Structure 1
Amino acid sequence: MSEQPKKPLPFVANFAAGAIAGVSEILTFYPLDVVKTRMQLSTEKSQGFVGTFRNIVKEEGAGRLYRGLVPPLLLEAPKRAVKFAANDFWGKTYLDLSGEKKMTQQLSILTGCSAGATESFVVVPFELVKIRLQDKNSTYAGPIDVVKQIIKKEGILGMYNGMESTFWRHIWWNGGYFGCIFQVRAMLPEAKTQQGTLFNNFISGAVGGFVGTMINTPFDVVKSRIQSAPRIPGVAPKYDWTYPSLAIIAREEGVGALYKGFVPKVLRLAPGGGVLLLVVEFTLGIFRQALGPPYI
């Protein structure tokens, strides 16, 4: 009797695995995100990762490293869930459209970019609130105060300030992340044990996180600049559309400024990408065992 192929896990399993993984990652690495944002918003000569970290603790207290934690924490569950569920959906869709039986690297990159585009629509309001709270000059009382003031001064659509830049940031990161995961997994020795599988997942996720960060950091810098500045009616913002803003930063501050915050960002997203994939695959494995055949 021929072996029956494994049945894909239901949407709720991918949703839950992505949510659990996202919360695990952000609780571990959040202070690095605060340092990254501070470095990106500064138009002065960079103090570097260590200098920025030290100044935040010295001048504002260690608690400031968790300023703005609530919005991303609330966001991580739906964000990561949408990321992996969308990646699963687009992967199956592109396989059907292409006629391929197995995922190729080209399809993996296309799938990742499509998942990133899908994810970007969910994250913008949360990212906006987080950036406003992480800014050194922030005077907001908390997340609710940010939302109230944005809606009052900029209207409900003000909550989607930075939508276009977020769209590009997520497309490029997800394309690099999922594309690398596919390639690195293919290069690693086949795992013979569960521990070996988890190790391979961590390595491929970490490499994917590093490459995704290399590609998308300039877009992240622009997004932070766009979202940090409140919109004033009748006044054209300095940073508005993504690609013109990239040119402005490169011209005024040098090309290197497009990689401000790279060190804390990669310190978070390289191992964070590994942790993310590790937890996702581990959680999906638990679901497969619980559901039994034909999911195993």
Structure 2
Amino acid sequence: MSDPKPLPFIYQFLSGAIAGVSEILVMYPLDVVKTRQQLDSTNAYNGTINCLKKIVREEGFSRLYKGITAPILMEAPKRATKFAANDEWGKFYKKQFGVTQMTQSLAVLTGATAGATESFVVVPFELVKIKLQDKTSKFNGMGEVVKDIIKTNGVLGLYKGLESTLWRHIMWNAGYFGLIHQVKSVMPKPKNSTEKTLIDLTCGTIGGTFGTIMNTPMDVVKSRIQAGSTKYKWTWPSLVIVAKEEGFGALYKGFIPKVLRLGPGGGILLVVFTTAMDFFRGIHEGK
């Protein structure tokens, strides 16, 4: 049995955008906590709950949403690119390898390529977000950050951390889409929309958790590179520095809030994306 006929790019883009914005509105505070823990080389935050309490107590509840403008603006093109690129690269690879149905190895390859594609869209937004989420940030909004970056380093300065972002997204997307394909292949065929939603939520959560395990070390060094530390420049040497100076466990700083966000968040993404795609498929095929 072949995969469903792909919808035009515009429907993939819109579905991805809707899924991305839905996920970030629910999960953003966990992203703030994750970034704080990743930038913390002195162990000032003792766990996720402690970090949440400290931020609220010392900086106010609204601090948990500081910098959300950049992710909101990023999420539509980012998630849209993620799913649209995954579908487009999937079509490309299936044609190149002469198959009509996605295989496990092609799902991993497609996810990795889609992740690399997505990275070029998200780097400037990620850079702005990290600088706003940092506790020592002197910036009040996106405009100030962008102006400062361009003034100091030029337009290309907006792509600081591109290499580490590439690794982060390649690892996450390969794990996410690869495992979703594997898990779906052993799931029973859904008998109704409720079962389909539960299966999508389960597959997305498992895929998001696995992708997070795969890419957290890259995310840690990406955050430090983009925060402005001159000690960290390239991904793999930076991984060695962090492990050597702070221990291997430091490569997984921020893992709990990250996995709490991207595990269930991955489920939310997949459920909203597939629901939107089903909706648009009905409109498209009803023409």
TM-score tier (shorter): over 0.9
Cα offset for 1:5? 8.9
Taking the aligned partners of 1:252 and 1:50, their CA distance within structure 2 comes to 25
Q: Deviations over 1:22-80 (max 9, x none)?
A: 00000000000000000000001251111111100010000000011000100100111
Displacement, 1:129? 0.2
Which of the pair has more CA radius of gyration? 1
In the TM superposition, 1:123-272 aligns within 5 A as 123-229=122-228, 237-272=230-265
Identity within the alignment, %: 58
The residue that corresponds to 2:36 in the other structure is 38
RMSD (Å), alpha carbons = 1.4
Deviation at 1:292, TM superposition (A): 2.5
Tell me, in whole angstroms, the C-alpha distance in 2 between the residues paired with 1:60 and 1:200: 40
Contact 2:6 2:87 in 1 (8 A): no
Name the amino acid aligned to 1:61.
Answer: G
Q: 1:238 to 1:5 in 2, by over 3 A?
A: closer
Unaligned runs of 5+ in 2: none
How many residue pairs get aligned? The number is: 285
**TM-score, length-normalised on structure 1?**
0.94
Cα drift, residue 157 of structure 1: 1.2
Unaligned runs of 5+ in 1: 231-236
Partners of 2:212 and 2:129 lie apart in 1 by 19
Q: How does 1:70-85 map to 2 (within 5 A)?
A: 70-85=69-84
Q: Residue 3 of structure 2 contacts residue 100 of structure 2 at CA under 8 Å; is this kept in 1? A: no
Q: Which residue of 1 aligns with 2:21?
A: 23
Following TM superposition, by how much is the alpha carbon of 1:141 offset from its aligned partner in structure 2, in angstroms? 2.0
**Separation (CA, whole Å) in 1 of partners of 2:168 and 2:254:** 15
Per mean C-alpha deviation after superposition, the further-off stretch among 5-14 and 145-154 is: 5-14
The 3 A distance-change label for structure 1 pair 94 and 53 is same
Q: Which amino acid aligns with 2:25?
A: L
Answer yes or no: is the 8 Å Cα contact 2:3–2:102 preserved in 1: no
SS of 1:149's equivalent in the other structure is helix
Q: Equivalent residue for 1:95?
A: 94
- How many angstroms does 1:7 deviate by? 3.6
Listed one character per residue, the Cα deviations across residues 155-197 of structure 1 (whole Å, up to 9, x for unaligned) are: 2111111000000000000000000100111111111111111
